[in-house]
Amino acid sequence: MRCPFCHNPDSRVVDSRETDEGATTRRRRSCPGCGRRFTTVEEAVLAVVKRSGVTEPFNRAKVIAGVRRACQGRPVDEDQLAVLAAQVEDAVRCSGSAEVPSHEVGLAILRPLRDLDEVAYLRFASVYRSFTSAADFEKEIAEMRAKAASVAQMATADLPPPVIPRSAAGPPDPTAPGD
């Protein structure tokens, strides 16, 4: 890293620490030419590929702006939006790819938004999934109800998971050709 003071092409790292839960690394550097110190911040680039093929850095503020529109008039505050954007970023980073298509960012928004506010979720989903009729809303709402019911069932069920008996597949067939 070039020294910003004397433009010496080399510098020495004297300290390195992770910040923002490991998302960035700050390095304290020392210039062997002029002896001055400066700090660099290193962050893995997460790029979003738009439908046009253009890539841009992932931006939490953009996620928040999009979700905020869907949340107009809903009891959702800025803190909740910030948490949601962080969840979206985590989910997108967990995909393990340095470049994610923008529709995957949209998908990553849907789940936490559904937990946050169902009306905002329906608004967002209606735009994102291009709902064209009331029937689209009805279908989505029916799916939401079914999911909510299955979650409630899982939470209350104390039955052991189903066990498929081995004998159901029948005994191995000795006449079957081997490999």
Residues that bind Zn ion (CB under 5 A): 3, 5-6, 8, 31, 33-34
Minimum distance from CB of 9 to Zn ion (Å)?
10
Q: Give 36 or 68: the residue with its C-beta nearer to Zn ion.
A: 36
Q: Which is nearer to Zn ion, 9 or 96 (CB)?
A: 9
CB of 42 to Zn ion, least distance (A): 20
Q: Is 26 helix (H, G, I), strand (E, B) or coil?
A: strand
Closest distance to Zn ion from the beta carbon of 16 (Å):
19
Tell the smallest beta-carbon distance from residue 15 to Zn ion (Å). 17
Q: Output the six-digit token pair for 78.
A: 């800025």
**Comparison of 12 and 145: residue with beta carbon closer to Zn ion:** 12
Nearest residue to 113 (alpha-carbon basis) of 87, 132, 137, 93: 87
Q: At closest approach, how far in Å is the CB of 144 from Zn ion?
A: 60
Strand partners, 100: 48
Q: Are 49 and 99 in contact (CB under 8 A)?
A: yes
Amino acid of residue 159: L
Torsion angle in degrees (nearest 10) through CA of 128, 129, 131, 135 = -140
Say if residues 91 and 60 touch (Cβ distance below 8 Å): no
* Pick from 28, 27, 26, 34: nearest CA to 9: 34
Report, in Å, the least distance between residue 130 CB and Zn ion.
Answer: 56
Indicate the residue among 31 and 46 with the shorter CB distance to Zn ion: 31
Distances (CA, A) of 113 to 24, 33, 68, 102: 26, 53, 11, 17
